Every structure is written in structure tokens, then in C-alpha cells.
Amino acid sequence: MCPVQLTDIVSVSYVAQLDSGELVEQAPEDKPVQLQIGSGRILQAVEASLMGMEPGEIRRVRILEEDAYGPHHDSLVQEVPRSTFGENMEPKPGMILSLTYEKDGEKHQIPATVIESDSQKVKVDYNHPLAGKAITYTVKLHAIGN
């Protein structure tokens, strides 16, 4: 059988971890996922690492922040007045909220992670939760084709 090529449909299992060892996501061996190479369903750098693999092969690849979810931008960490959330909501660190911002006259909903909160203000981070972090994928190719 030929190794993985662009547009092949493959069956893979994987474990994705941060440098700290924290689990980001996984597709266990007993429940591999199918995907088409080049479809953009997974990070482009992970797709590229599958190229040339053959069934049964395991590959470990470290994806740097710029090829994963990008760098962490300090400008996307902001303080908003506590009153923005009303009296019925108690923002706590780690909560992910959907906040509204206006751009070019249109309102958009974007997720923000609460960093800290007190009675006057709430510090939120609009960066992706994995921004600024490298991710290591251990990928096993189970099959090529349907």
C-alpha cells in the first residue's frame, strides 16, 4: 500500500498534550477518527506530519504556537466593568463567557476567558485558550482509505 498522500482519507488515533503534560484532546485507539488529508479538519502542521506514513506507524510531532493557535497577545487581555455582567452573574476565573463587541457597525459574539474578578472589574482574555502554547501530538495511522 502507498503511504499517505494529499486527499487520502485516513483513520487515526492521537493524543495531544501541552509541554506540561496536560491533555488537550484525544482520539483513542479504540475509537480512531477518519479525516481527509488537506480538508483542514485538524491543524495543518498535524496533517503535514501524516504525509508519508504507513498503517501501523506512530509519529510524534511538536507543533509550535505559531503553527497551532498563534501567539498570546497581551492586547487581548482587557478589564471590563463588573457592572457589565449584571447582578445575576458571578464571573469566576476560568469561566468562558460569550461577550459582544462592535466592529464596523456590526455586533459580534466572541468567547473570553475570565482571568480574575472583583467587585469593580473583571479581567478577561480574548485569546484562544491554547494561544501561546506548543502542542505535542502522538499520532497512530490505522488505515488509509475507507
Question: Interior CA angle at 138 toward 143 and 22, to 5°?
Answer: 140
Per-residue confidence (pLDDT) for residue 104, from 0 to 100: 85
Residue 1 has a pLDDT of 61
CATH class (in words) of the domain with range 9-69+131-144: alpha beta
CA max distance for the chain:
64
CATH 3.10.50.40 spans which residues of the chain? 9-69+131-144
CATH architecture of 74-125: Beta Barrel (2.40)
Beta-ladder partners of 138 = 15, 60
Q: Please, where in the chain does CATH 2.40.10.330 lie?
A: 74-125
For the ranges 86-90, 106-110, 135-139, the maximum mean pLDDT occurs at 135-139
